[in-house]
Amino acid sequence: MPDFLETEQEKTVRAYLNHFARTEIRPRSLEADRMQDIQPDFYQAVQRSGISMEMMPRNPGSRSKEGEQREHTTLRLSVLASEELSWGDASFLLSLPGPGLGGPPVSFIGTPEQRERFFAIFKDTEHPHFGAYALTEPEAGSDVAGIKTRCEAVNGGYRINGTKTFITNGSRADWVVVFASIDPSLGRAGHRTFVVERGTQGFSVGRRHHKLGLRANDTAELVFSDCFVPEENLLGGRAHYEQSKEGFKVAMATFDSTRPLVAAMAVGIARAAAERARELIEERYMLGRALPRYRALREALDDMDRRVRAARLLTWKSAFLADVRQPQSRAASMAKAYAGKEAVLICREALELTADSGEVPDPFLEKWFRDIRVFDIFEGTAQIQRLVVARRLFEEIGAKVGL
């Protein structure tokens, strides 16, 4: 059974990260959103703090000599960190130095030499370094199997052609994990996964996206035009792709491991909005007075808090399953779908509860309302999450009845 009580270590981590978010992130938030960029002094603060966010633990679970499953709370700690830092500003969390979403594929199937080579750069504490994950394309977002980027085996490696879009930290990344198809007729079995390093001939950054929300985070288009990638940059080597769908499986495994983190980010933003709404309402009203209007406000605030807590519990459940290496695709999709949907509604309700006719809304609530919109979309839309949940449900039913 998962333990939903925080350990002393987790309480300490949460308190420290909340302090960092309150003192280093939140004061920079509105200006960074307006400038659509994060100033270098933030990375100096990160360096002083010792905080790093490798978005997925490299070894989420283990077995004892007797084969008993042991719980490692690595992903749960990452989930706690994601919530607290997103409470400050999710754009800053996404902009933390580290391998980012590119980390899990390198960890999952990279050879020991590849892991050492590509992760070594993050040992540099003097300068921020970034990794990125390039799967989404202009015509292939939720339909991962339909990617158009192509790779062709040539002497000494592969040649890649295609365009990726909405890539987090894309313009600043030192290397990017890129998914491409070697043969469209093979479907998912034709997917290959590469690490393309900055400065590689034929690899360039296209436009930097200007977004409705999360505007301070770098999100870019990446272009591959006869981009030559050496053989040693094919993650896992050719053997991993023989008679398998390894490339597609890596993409799906990455989503299973990162969706709890995205759910936790949504929880952090929803919590921030609910707390801000409570603060503003308490400034204006004496909520202890027995008036219908005040009772309705109290009930609305309590309902928002309850939904934040429910989303957190779903998120923790999915992290627990990952940490003990149990199947958690269904749990991760449930957490991401519920947290994203409820966070959107909570941010909207916070605006509505605190709005005064004809006045400009609270700047933080207005910003979080813009930021939260994407959480019902990226890392798989809500529709995709429901499909995943339904598929896993019918698989369970089929197994029980012998289908």
Max intra-chain CA distance, the chain: 79
231 tagged catalytic? no
> Closest Cα partner for 220 from 103, 162, 140, 134?
134
> Closest Cα partner for 264 from 330, 317, 339?
339
Using CA atoms in the order 207, 211, 215, 219, what is the torsion angle rounded to 10 degrees? Answer: -40
Which residue of the set 283, 379, 395, 396 is catalytic?
379
Distance (Å, whole) CA 36 – CA 171: 14
Distance (Å, whole) CA 72 – CA 364: 36
Distance (Å, whole) CA 182 – CA 149: 9
Dihedral (CA of 128, 225, 252, 313) sign: positive
Q: Are strands 175-181 and 131-134 parallel, antiparallel or unpaired?
A: parallel
Q: Which helix (H) or strand (E) holds 279?
A: helix 246-284
> Closest Cα partner for 193 from 155, 128, 244, 138?
244
Q: In terms of C-beta density within 10 A (0-12 exposed, 13-18 middle, 19 or more buried), how is residue 1 classed?
A: exposed
Tell me the backbone φ, ψ of residue 15, rounded to 5 degrees.
-65, -40
Using CA atoms in the order 374, 376, 377, 381, what is the torsion angle rounded to 10 degrees? Answer: 170
Distance of CA 171 to the CA centre of its chain: 18
Q: Are strands 203-208 and 219-230 parallel, antiparallel or unpaired?
A: antiparallel
Which residue pairs, CB below 8 angstroms and at least 24 apart, start in 241-249? Answer: 241/192, 244/189, 245/188, 245/189, 245/191, 246/109, 246/191, 246/193, 247/179, 247/188, 247/190, 247/191, 247/192, 247/193, 248/144, 248/145, 248/188, 248/189, 248/191
Active site residues: 379
